[in-house]
Structure 1
Amino acid sequence: MKFEGENLIAKLEKCLPGEKNWSEYESIGVNIFRFLFKDNFKKYLSEEQIENNLKNHRRDLLVNNNPSDLTSFWSDTKRNYNCSAIIIDFKNYSGKLNSTNFFSVSKYTKKNVGDFAIVFSRKGIDKTAKIEQSELFGNGKLLLEFSDSELIEMIREKIIGKDPIDRLESKKFELVKKY
């Protein structure tokens, strides 16, 4: 596990931000999500590059939400956000995401998929995106974001036996405290 985690960190740190490397960043992100969370599911089922029927939205990663623990964070998202599938989007921007970049992910949340998504970004989100995140939360949508530095911390924590779910819970609690 240590070798796999350190390898993911090295790949993430070597990947340059920008449009040219978006595919590489997405691939690394898919592997990081699997590394961090695959053990939380009865069977880890995922699909990359999923388009909707109208072909006007493309989700980077969709993971079937079949949690192995019925009291887990994933079970909570299934109950409270109708989350039958977890939407993960990867933003390889060189700066922090603004409200427009962040809000664009919310279009992937739908009644039959769920009102929950995770965004991986290089530098996190700016103040306008944090306001947008709070507004979305107030309207029943939970969008969590993780910067590269947070992902690296989560990988290192998993290597030493800590549960990365704690970070998801903490991010959600930050939003809950505002209401």
Structure 2
Amino acid sequence: MTRWDDLKLKLIERDGSTCSICGKTLLMDLRLLRIEHIKPVSRGGKSDLDNLRIVCPECNFYVTDLREYEFVDYLVCLLRMNSTFSEVQQEISLGYGQAAYAKRIDIFAQEIKNNNWSEVYIECKSQRGFSLRRIEDMLTQLKTYHTLIEGKRLALAFPGTLPKKTIEAIEAQGIEVWDIPFLSQRFENEIPYVEHPVFQPILLAALAKKQQSPEEILIQKLRNCQPGKEDWSKYQKIIGEILERLFCPPLSTPISERSDAEQVNRRDYILTNYAESGFWHFLRTTYQADYIVVDAKNYKNDVGKKEALQIANYLKPHGAGLFGIIFCRDSIDNGCECTLREQWTIHRKLIIVVSDRDVEQMLLNKSSNGPPEEIIKQKIEDFRLSM
């Protein structure tokens, strides 16, 4: 057993078997677990137990892309410059004894509201957007925090924007959402004076924004399109517009209603993938995604096994490749889920499902100059790690 494996076991014994960032229950396979420094080594952090925590592979991947502590530091600067906040502190332990190590929250502050000081605990994430499964994992984590702060205010802060329904679901749990619209309005006077190469431009752009963006217009068009047979062609056209807005370039303009040589299998859209770098290049080389095959299902009910097989039949290693996306209004049934798993396990055909809420998240990412493919990446990771 290596030194790092021994550290992982000690951290699990101390903190439990959940990811300290997203709150997801971890598989007890030491090879899949990652150790994260709470205070980075580059900033003087040490590799001892007090400065280490266990995280899942996907959270470990994301914090190395844009590290969470950068966003925490940036938000702390905004809070300390704002006269309505005081007693701003970082890395606050929740609970007592050994359990306190496992439950740390990023920021604590007091805010003057209605002439009274109100305590607020702020959990920060560096991602610009989240898949539905990531939201569920975070809510599980935040609910645990709620039980430890005895009715005090709890906020989720991140440098992005969420779909309206997702925000409502989080706020229904008594959790405040400090997203880009909130932060840009709340710290309007401080943002011009707190520099950061990523976060400041995002917030300044939100401050300058006066008209609806093309992405917001597409979100409204999607919401106005009713599920069902009557609007199937309208929905398909909207999905084509959304695909082009989100991913072209680097992908080519969507080719609509393309069938195979036998005229048996027809798909709604095909996007050619010639990307030579980045996420789409990774997708092409790893999942044989020379073409992105898309089906749009404007169903009132859940998408089923039949629809999964339809797109799977079009995917061929010598043809369009082995990667596809089903766009649907809400969700899939158990038969569809089992079929998707079988197609991946047996035939290496990777098909992910994207709902209206996922589409809105991708468009919101794009609108705030974030990567819309982040949600595709999360969906793939959620699918692979659930196998």
Instruction: Give the structure-1-normalised TM-score.
Output: 0.90
Distance in 2 (CA, whole Å) between partners of 1:33 and 1:2 is: 19
Q: Identity percentage over the alignment? A: 26
Displacement, 1:2? 4.9
Higher relative contact order (CA closer than 8 Å, sequence separation 6+): 1
| 1:34 and 2:244 matched | yes
- 5+ residue gaps, structure 1: none
Which residue of structure 1 lines up, in the alignment, with residue 362 of structure 2?
154
| 1:130 and 2:340 matched | no
Distance in 2 (CA, whole Å) between partners of 1:79 and 1:110 is: 15
Distance in 2 (CA, whole Å) between partners of 1:151 and 1:144 is: 13
2:307 to 91, 94, 101: 101
Computing the radius of gyration from Cα coordinates, the structure with the larger value is 2
Displacement, 1:96? 1.4
Question: Are 2:240 and 2:254, in contact at CA under 8 Å, matched by a contact in 1?
Answer: no
Give the partner amino acid of 1:49.
Answer: E
Give the partner amino acid of 2:274.
Answer: N
Question: Are 2:304 and 2:335, in contact at CA under 8 Å, matched by a contact in 1?
Answer: yes
Which residue of structure 2 lines up, in the alignment, with residue 119 of structure 1?
326
Which residue of structure 1 lines up, in the alignment, with residue 216 of structure 2?
6
Question: Are 2:295 and 2:311, in contact at CA under 8 Å, matched by a contact in 1?
Answer: yes
Distance in 1 (CA, whole Å) between partners of 2:372 and 2:327 is: 14
Q: Deviations over 1:27-55 (max 9, x none)?
A: 000111111111334xx243111122211
Q: Secondary structure at the match of 2:308?
A: helix
- 5+ residue gaps, structure 2: 1-210
Q: Structure 1 stretch 111-120 or stretch 75-84: which is displaced more?
A: 75-84
Distance in 2 (CA, whole Å) between partners of 1:103 and 1:2 is: 39
| 1:23 and 2:233 matched | yes
Question: Are 1:40 and 1:68, in contact at CA under 8 Å, matched by a contact in 2?
Answer: no
Question: Are 2:235 and 2:298, in contact at CA under 8 Å, matched by a contact in 1?
Answer: yes
Q: Structure 1 stretch 159-168 or stretch 75-84: which is displaced more?
A: 75-84
Q: Secondary structure at the match of 2:213?
A: helix
Q: 1:100 to 1:67 in 2, by over 3 A?
A: same
Question: Are 2:271 and 2:292, in contact at CA under 8 Å, matched by a contact in 1?
Answer: yes
2:259 to 51, 60, 85: 51
Give the partner amino acid of 2:235.
Answer: Y
Q: Deviations over 1:33-79 (max 9, x none)?
A: 111111334xx24311112221111111011111142xx23212222
Q: Secondary structure at the match of 1:39?
A: coil
Q: 1:103 to 1:2 in 2, by over 3 A?
A: farther
Give runs of ≥4 in structure 1 deviating > 3 Å: none
Instruction: Give the structure-2-normalised TM-score.
Output: 0.43
Which residue of structure 2 lines up, in the alignment, with residue 163 of structure 1?
371
Q: Map of 1:75-90 to 2, 5 A cutoff?
A: 75-90=281-296
Distance in 2 (CA, whole Å) between partners of 1:79 and 1:156 is: 28
Question: Are 1:137 and 1:175, in contact at CA under 8 Å, matched by a contact in 2?
Answer: no
Which residue of structure 1 lines up, in the alignment, with residue 351 of structure 2?
143
Q: What is the total number of aligned residue pairs between the two structures?
A: 175
